[in-house]
Amino acid sequence: MQKRISNLPFQGTKEQEEKLHAVIAKHKGEQGAVMPVLHEAQEIYGYLPVEVQTMVADGLGVPLEEVFGVSTFYSQFSLTPKGKYNISVCLGTACYVKGAAAVLDRVSQILGIQPEECTQDGLFSLTACRCVGACGLAPVMTVNDDVYGRLAPEEVDGILAKYQA
């Protein structure tokens, strides 16, 4: 999958950096440590800008090229910042057959952004994901940890309005 790379300036804090170094120290020397560290780094920063990846590479003593290879390979790792509310529209088969594409179109239309993008004000970001495993509730959309199932496109307006308030 092609990844978008953020060109926003990096705004990491000292505390975040300390947390990251603690994570690196915990996993250093472990077999196959790059992925667990990237998972935790993404939890700390919300995304994986190249500055963070450089710290991971230096900390674990692996080439940056290898870290970058891993971070761009997996769809869970994001190189762009997420909005305060990340909207994920499931495009798994069960959801697709039940009209998930129309739900995604509606979100995209209301917010004026495409999947993998973030709104100007940083409030919403949008992702099209592959199956959250709640196929019984298709079509499904999640906003951070809230799950909305059995959706019709016109319900999207009301749901987004709740978060805009």
Partner 1 sequence: MYRSNVLVCGGTGCTSSNSEQIIERLREEIKAKGLEKEVNVVRTGCFGLCALGPIMIVYPEGSFYSMVTPDDVPEIVEEHLLKGRIVTRLLYQETVVDDRTVKSLNHTPFYEKQMRIALRNCGVINPEVIDEYIAQDGYQALGKVLTEMTPQEVIDCILKSGLRGRGGAGFPTGRKWSFAAANQADQKYVCCNADEGDPGAFMDRSVLEGDPHSVIEAMAIAGYAIGATQGYIYIRAEYPIAVQRLKIAIGQAREYGLLGKNIFDSGFDFDIDIRLGAGAFVCGEETALMTSIEGKRGEPRVRPPFPAVKGLFGKPTVLNNVETYANIPQIILKGPEWFSSIGTEKSKGTKVFALGGKIKHTGLVEVPMGTTLREIVEEIGGGVPNGHTFKAAQTGGPSGGCIPAEHLDVPIDYDNLIAIGSMMGSGGLIVMDDTTCMVDIAKFFLEFTVDESCGKCTPCRVGTRRLLEILEKITSGNGTLEDIDRLEKLCHYIKENALCGLGQTAPNPVLSTLRYFRDEYIAHVTDKVCPAGACKALTNYYILEDQCRGCTLCARNCPVGAISGTVKKPHVIDRSKCIKCGACMEKCRFGAIVKK
Nearest distance in Å: CB 87, partner 1: 15
Q: Helix, strand, coil % (nearest 5) of the chain?
A: 45, 10, 40
> How many chain residues touch partner 1 (CB under 8 A)?
44
**φ, ψ at 93 (rounded to 5°):** -60, -45
Nearest distance in Å: CB 113, partner 1: 16
Residues 8-47 that bind partner 1 (CB under 8 A): 31-36, 38-39
For β-strands 117-118 and 146-148, DSSP reports them as unpaired
Q: Which is nearer to partner 1, 122 or 130 (CB)?
A: 130
Bridge partners, residue 117, by sequence = 126
Judged by CB under 8 A, does residue 104 bind partner 1? Answer: no
Q: From the DSSP assignment, how many helices (H) and strands (E) are in the chain?
A: 7, 5
d(CA 79, CA 30): 25
- The C-alpha angle with vertex 82 and arms to 130 and 59, in degrees rounded to 5, equals 100
Q: Which is nearer to partner 1, 132 or 159 (CB)?
A: 132
Nearest distance in Å: CB 94, partner 1: 3
Residue with tokens 């997420």: 82
Judged by CB under 8 A, does residue 97 bind partner 1? Answer: yes
d(CA 115, CA 43): 21
Q: Which is nearer to partner 1, 50 or 102 (CB)?
A: 102
| Among 13, 58, 122, 154, contact with partner 1 (rule: CB under 8 A) | 154
Judged by CB under 8 A, does residue 114 bind partner 1? Answer: no
Judged by CB under 8 A, does residue 77 bind partner 1? Answer: yes
Q: How many CB atoms lie within 10 A of CB 26?
A: 13
Residues in contact with partner 1 by CB under 8 A are 1, 31-36, 38-39, 66, 69-70, 73-77, 91-94, 96-98, 102, 105-106, 109, 129-138, 140, 147, 149, 152-154
